[in-house]
């Protein structure tokens, strides 16, 4: 009579495999969180640069002879405060969402630093853009640029 040899994993082997999978999962979760933070910061920077470029391009249209810019703003008698108040906070001109709070618009009329938001304020014919790229808004995480209204 032949004896049948059972082939199976021992309890120790199974425990080692489960421990290895647990360690890999723990490392993967912390790494994934870092990727999300970097993506949000990159998105905030991209929104800031996009707003700066669009504002500059729209303002050049007035000097080239267009009568309106930014969907409805009349070029005659234009000033920085007119542009900022036209943009407001409704998302009518810039439809980007705040990467840190997707229920909020990414571009608003404001003079403060808010994580993920590009804040627009005006002083005379100068529009100031302020963006905070990370939660906490340390000085190293702040972007500030200006666009001149001519």
Domain boundaries along the sequence of the chain: 14-148
62-96 burial code (b ≥16 CB/10 A, e <16): beeeeeebbeebebeebebbbbbebbeeeeebbeb
3-state secondary structure of 96: coil
Please give the pLDDT value at position 17: 96
At 75-111, the pLDDT tens digits run: 888 899 989 988 877 777 899 999 999 999 999 999 9
Instruction: Give 150's Cβ-side CA count (13 Å radius).
Output: 11
pLDDT (tens digit per residue) in 50-72: 999 999 999 999 889 899 998 88
pLDDT at 1: 66
């Amino acid at each position: 009579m032949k004896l049948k040899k059972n082939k199976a994993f021992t309890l120790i082997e199974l425990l080692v495999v489960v421990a290895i999978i647990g360690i890999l999962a723990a490392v993967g979760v912390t790494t994934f969180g870092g990727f999300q933070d970097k993506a949000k910061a990159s998105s905030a920077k991209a929104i800031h640069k996009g707003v700066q470029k669009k504002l500059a391009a729209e303002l050049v249209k007035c000097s080239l002879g267009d009568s309106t810019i930014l969907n409805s703003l009349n070029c005659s008698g234009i000033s920085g405060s007119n542009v900022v108040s036209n943009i407001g906070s409704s998302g009518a001109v810039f439809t980007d969402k705040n990467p840190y709070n997707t229920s909020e618009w990414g571009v608003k009329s404001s003079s403060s630093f808010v994580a993920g938001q590009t804040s627009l304020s005006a002083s005379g014919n100068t529009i100031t853009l302020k963006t905070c790229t990370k939660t906490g808004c340390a000085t190293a995480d702040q972007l500030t640029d200006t666009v001149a209204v001519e």
